[in-house]
């Protein structure tokens, strides 16, 4: 069969389909978005009726996936690393309930923060929750591992965390497929109270979890992914995690270094092999993409006389993504000569697409708010965050999904007036609605501007749960109907929009302005697809 | 340009290695260039890794893609600095951003058409002068050539055509790749893109 050229994300999605997946659950987030998108576009998924709708946020996604697992079917939830924070409550507790049908949770980390607000390392969540973690180092391995992840999940009755990073998620490579497996039949859990975490049951389940975690070390589905290759030079031993292995091998094109190398791609990591390699080498270099998880475990609190090189002693930079040159430097290898970037090259930050509705919304906000002597709004995560950059420079916060609303509420509590939040439609239904309820209940003097582009724009235009529902939602939460204002952000409406904003900014209670115009990228894609059909 | 370079190459599979940086501004179509080369590479049974930039910077920011072709398995998704054989750029200033990756013997192929969406874009002359300091460079007016081929949007295929002589793939495979990629948009679109590709290839 001819190989398929797939992104790491797509390889994982295809593997899930081939491994008999029944439900895919996700909220868009770079670099994880393409997993769901691939399944949505897959003819096989359509034919089999695999569930593949976006969820409102990562927590609802993971809970729904857990519900599908409850029925004995295989489910996958996919999210970016910070999305796992949103789903963390479910994630940690799903380890204690355990699963029934296989449950694989993909967390796509973004070291170097290409498109994120931090570079947290999801492997810590695996350890925190006591669940197995897979960390593939290439696309084919990612494909193959998904099968083992589902099997392991069913065998040890635990969710499996599948950790990838940007480079794997967004890099293409030819993939060969395995034979497809049928979906699982519906079969409720043998133990009817498994998912009931009342304290008395939870205590029992927790002990079951601890012993299941212990026995993972002996599971072949973990151990086969942690391989050791000896070398005759014992001065230095190398431990690589996940994709770091590739950067090591890149520096030794003729089959790898003549040094002992332990390649870790599944956790809990193999303590016995680590003891073995540290016993035979004078020094150990640890290469991991992300935080120094293995390195910290090895260093411990007391020095054990072994020389450990890694991110903590500066051999490898403490933050940021790895690459072949960083690894070469850590090994003291000679680097190829490099040309410098000429000084005339200027930074080219991202900006709004020409004609984007967010820019008209911000033009109005800036004029209206300046008349109150204010410079800036609380904002949120989406294309509109680009208004933090010139020529707007009018955003004072961007923290996490939904934080604009609640930070505006807190600042209003402190006496800031007017206190204004700007949030996108999809971010609002992700995590802004509960904050709005807080505001309504105590009648905070805040104005929430929902910059509604009727899509999830930043991640490439996925369906927004909010589309067509915003007014209803705000009214349902209890915002007074006369303070739910709908405007259309177009240049010709500028003066009217400024007037509406000034009115609501002056109001000492909760008001919502829905500034609604479809993302021009989504709109033109929609037009194109209707004319092609 | 020597005519023997333009002659069809036969691929010595085991020895073949092309490390290519694609650059431009979000929305300029560098991923389509990558997709065409990818299709051609698969047709020739080569190993391939292609790392893309998705997300935030696609909104008019600088974007790049590392594309690696080889007759042997490829380890890293990223090209080590100083080792790229080729920079293919849709935008002159962007072509310079990735010079630290270009090897001493590598080629830089770029459009001469600036994409100005920042207030401090340097004078075009200065940008082109910096490019001309690179030993192996090829600058072409992709916009004009694309327009002549039938659509301004085909500028990326003009650039690919010009760069194709430095890629160890049969030109026919690249043409097949263009056809495969664009045929779903209609025969006429596919034809325009092939015309653009050929126009780029003919440039001296
Ligand atoms: S993708 Fe849509 S919402 Fe985002 S900047 Fe472009 S037009 Fe605006």
* Strand ranges across the sheet with A261-264: A226-229, A261-264, A236-241, A283-288, A307-309
Phi and psi torsions of A491, nearest 5°: -60, -35
CATH of domain B17-113+122-202: 3.40.920.10
Q: Is A388 on the interface with B (CB under 8 A)?
A: no
A284 and A135 within one domain? no
| Predicted confidence (pLDDT) per residue in B153-199, tens digit | 999 999 999 999 999 999 999 999 999 999 999 999 999 999 999 99
CATH number of the domain where residue A271 is located: 3.40.50.920
The stretch A119-138 carries a mean pLDDT of 98
Distance CA A24, CA A34 (A): 12
Q: Do B97 and A336 touch (CB under 8 A)?
A: no
Q: Which residue of A has its CA nearest to B17?
A: A253
According to DSSP, the residues that pair with A23 across neighbouring strands are A51, A75
Euclidean distance between CA atoms A94 and A515, whole angstroms: 39
pLDDT tens digits, A401-434: 999 999 999 999 999 999 999 999 999 999 999 9
Burial environment of residue A438 by CB neighbours within 10 A (0 to 12, 13 to 18, 19 or more): middle
Q: Is A262 found in the same domain as A166?
A: no
C-beta atoms surrounding A463 within 10 Å: 15
A454 and A326 within one domain: no
| Residue A510 domain boundaries | 357-523
- Provide the sign of the torsion angle of the four alpha carbons A220, A225, A231, A237, taken in this order: negative
Q: Is the CB of A446 under 6 A from ligand 1?
A: no
pLDDT (tens digit per residue) in A470-486:
999 999 999 999 999 99
Q: Would you call A460 an interface residue with chain B, using a CB distance cutoff of 8 Å?
A: yes
CA-based nearest residue in chain A for residue B186: A532
Considering the domain architecture, whether residues A200 and A233 belong to the same structural domain is answered as: no
pLDDT, one tens digit per residue, over A20-78 is 999 999 999 999 999 999 999 999 999 999 999 999 999 999 999 999 999 999 999 99
Of the partner residues A7, A328, A459, the one whose CB lies closest to the CB of residue B55: A459
Answer whether B34's CB lies under 8 Å from B67's CB. yes
From B55, B99, B185, residue closest to A30, measured CB to CB: B55
The answer to the question of residue A279 being in a domain is yes
Per-residue confidence at B4, pLDDT binned at 50, 70, 90?
Answer: very low
Ligand 1 center from residue A27 Cα (angstroms): 18
pLDDT of residue B12: 56
Question: Which B residues 25-44 touch A at CB under 8 Å?
Answer: 25-27, 34, 38-39, 42
Q: Which helix (H) or strand (E) holds B49?
A: strand B47-51
**Alpha carbons A16 and A73: distance in angstroms, whole number:** 12
Query: What mean pLDDT is predicted for residues B135-143?
Result: 97
Minimal Cα distance from B49: which residue of A?
A173
CB distance A457 to ligand 1 below 6 Å: yes
The residues, any chain, with a CB within 8 Å of residue A431's CB and separated by 6 or more, are A57, A86, A400, A401, A402
Three-state DSSP at A310 gives coil
Assess whether A56 and A202 both reside in one domain. yes
**Residue A384 Cβ contacting ligand 1 at under 6 Å:** no
Atom index in ligand 1 nearest the CA of residue A386 equals 5
Q: Are residues A424 and A277 in the same domain?
A: no
What is the ipTM metric for this complex? 0.90
Phi, psi of A172 (to 5 degrees): -95, 145
Chain B residues lying within 8 Å of A172, measured CB to CB = 34, 38, 48-52
Ligand 1 atom nearest to CA at A383: 4
Among all residues of chain B, which has the CA nearest to that of A116?
A: B56
Which one, of A5, A501, A124, lies nearest residue B49 by Cα? Answer: A5
Task: Name the residue among B26, B38, B51 with its Cβ closest to that of A5.
Answer: B38
User: How many angstroms separate the alpha carbon of residue B130 from the centre of ligand 1?
Assistant: 33
Instruction: Pick the last residue of a domain from A223, A242, A269.
Output: A223
Q: What angle do helix axes A199-215 and A88-97 make, rounded to 10 degrees? A: 80
Instruction: Using DSSP bridges, classify how beta strands B84-89 and B17-25 pair: parallel, antiparallel or unpaired.
Output: parallel
Q: Measure A225 CA to ligand 1 centroid, in angstroms.
A: 42
Asked if the structure places residue A533 within a domain, the reply is no
Domain match, A422 and A473 both: yes
Domain boundaries, chain B: 17-113+122-202
Residues 6+ apart with CB under 8 A from B174: B36, B37, B40, B160, B164, B167, B197
Identify whether the C-beta of residue A339 lies closer than 8 Å to the C-beta of residue B100. yes
Inter-chain contact A170–B42, Cβ cutoff 8 Å?
A: no
Query: Dihedral, CA atoms, A407, A409, A412, A414, nearest 10 degrees?
Result: -70
As given in the structure block, the two tokens for residue B156 are 């990326």
CB A398 within 8 A of CB A405: no
Helical segments of B63-186, H only: 92-97, 124-132, 142-149, 155-163, 171-182
Q: How far is CA B48 from the centre of its chain?
A: 15
Domain containing A10 — which CATH number?
Answer: 3.40.50.970
pLDDT in tens, A291-313: 999 999 999 877 667 799 999 99
> Which residues does chain B have within 8 Å of residue A328's beta carbon, measured at their own beta carbons?
80
Instruction: State residue B6's pLDDT score.
Output: 40
Residues A213 and A230 placed together within one structural domain of the fold: no
Phi/psi at B157 (5° precision) = -75, -30
DSSP secondary structure string, A364-427?
HHHHHHHTTT---EE--SSGGGGGGSTTT--EEE--STTHHHHHHHHHHHTT-SSEEEEEEHHH
């Amino acid at each position: 069969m001819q190989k398929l050229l797939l992104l790491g994300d797509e390889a994982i999605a295809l593997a899930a389909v081939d491994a008999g997946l029944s439900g895919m659950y996700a909220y868009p987030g770079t670099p994880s978005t393409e997993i769901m998108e691939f399944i949505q576009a897959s003819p096989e998924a359509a034919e089999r009726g695999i569930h593949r709708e976006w969820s409102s946020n990562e927590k609802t996604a993971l809970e729904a996936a857990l519900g599908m697992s409850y029925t004995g079917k295989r489910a996958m939830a996919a999210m970016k690393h910070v999305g796992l924070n949103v789903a963390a409550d479910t994630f940690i507790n799903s380890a204690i309930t355990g699963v029934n049908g296989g449950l694989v949770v993909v967390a796509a980390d973004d070291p170097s923060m290409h498109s994120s607000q931090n570079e947290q390392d999801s492997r810590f969540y695996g350890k925190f929750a006591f669940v197995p973690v897979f960390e593939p180092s290439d696309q084919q391995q990612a494909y193959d591992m998904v099968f083992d992840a589902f099997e392991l999940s069913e065998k040890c009755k635990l969710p499996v965390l599948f950790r990838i990073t940007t480079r794997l998620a967004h890099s293409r490579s030819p993939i060969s497929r395995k034979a497809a497996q049928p979906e699982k039949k519906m079969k409720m859990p043998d133990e009817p109270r498994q998912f009931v975490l009342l304290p008395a049951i939870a205590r029992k389940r927790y002990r079951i979890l601890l012993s299941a975690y212990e026995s993972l070390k002996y599971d072949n589905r973990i151990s086969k992914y942690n391989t050791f290759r000896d070398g005759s030079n014992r001065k230095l031993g190398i431990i690589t995690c996940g994709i770091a292995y590739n950067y090591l091998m890149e520096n030794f094109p003729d089959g790898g270094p003549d040094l002992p190398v332990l390649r870790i791609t599944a956790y809990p990591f193999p303590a016995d092999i680590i003891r073995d390699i540290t016993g035979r080498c004078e020094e150990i270099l640890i290469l991991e993409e992300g935080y120094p998880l293995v390195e910290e475990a090895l260093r411990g609190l007391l020095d054990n006389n072994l020389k450990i090189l890694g991110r903590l002693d500066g051999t490898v930079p403490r933050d940021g993504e790895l690459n072949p040159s960083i690894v070469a430097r850590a090994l003291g290898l000679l680097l190829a000569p490099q040309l410098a970037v000429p000084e005339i090259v200027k930074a080219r930050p991202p900006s709004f697409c020409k004609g984007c509705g967010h820019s008209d919304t911000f033009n109005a906000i800036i004029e209206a708010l300046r008349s109150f002597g204010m410079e800036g709004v609380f904002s949120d995560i989406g294309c509109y965050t680009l208004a933090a950059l010139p020529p707007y420079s009018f955003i004072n916060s961007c923290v996490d999904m939904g934080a604009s609303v609640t930070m505006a509420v807190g600042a209003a509590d402190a006496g800031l007036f007017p206190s204004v939040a700007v949030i996108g439609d999809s971010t609002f239904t992700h995590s802004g609605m509960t904050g709005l309820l807080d505001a309504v209940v105590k009648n905070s003097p805040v104005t929430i501007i929902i910059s509604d582009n009727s899509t999830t724009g930043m991640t490439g235009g996925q369906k927004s749960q909010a589309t067509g529902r915003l007014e209803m939602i705000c009214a349902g939460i209890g915002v007074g109907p006369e303070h739910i204002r709908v405007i259309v952000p177009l240049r010709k409406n500028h003066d009217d929009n400024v007037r509406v904003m000034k009115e609501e900014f002056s109001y000492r209670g909760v008001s919502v302005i829905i500034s609604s115009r479809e993302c021009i990228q989504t709109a033109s894609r929609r037009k194109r697809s209707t004319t092609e059909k | 340009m020597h005519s023997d370079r333009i002659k069809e190459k036969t691929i010595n599979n085991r020895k073949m290695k092309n490390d290519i940086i694609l650059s431009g501004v979000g929305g300029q179509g560098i991923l389509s260039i990558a997709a065409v080369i990818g299709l051609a590479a698969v047709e020739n049974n080569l190993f391939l890794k292609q790392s893309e930039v998705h997300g935030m910077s696609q909104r008019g920011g600088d974007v790049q893609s590392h594309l690696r072709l080889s007759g042997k398995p490829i380890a890293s998704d990223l090209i080590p600095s100083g080792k790229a054989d080729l920079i293919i750029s849709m935008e002159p200033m962007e072509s310079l951003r990735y010079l630290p990756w270009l090897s001493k013997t590598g080629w830089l192929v770029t459009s001469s058409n600036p994409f100005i969406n920042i207030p401090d874009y340097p004078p075009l002359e200065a940008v082109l002068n910096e490019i001309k300091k690179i030993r192996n460079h090829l600058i072409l007016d992709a916009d004009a050539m694309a327009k002549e081929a039938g659509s301004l949007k085909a500028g990326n295929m003009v650039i690919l055509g010009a760069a194709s002589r430095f890629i160890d793939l049969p030109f026919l495979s690249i043409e097949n790749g263009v056809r495969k990629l664009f045929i779903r948009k209609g025969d006429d679109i596919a034809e325009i893109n092939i015309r653009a590709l050929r126009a780029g290839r003919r440039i001296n």
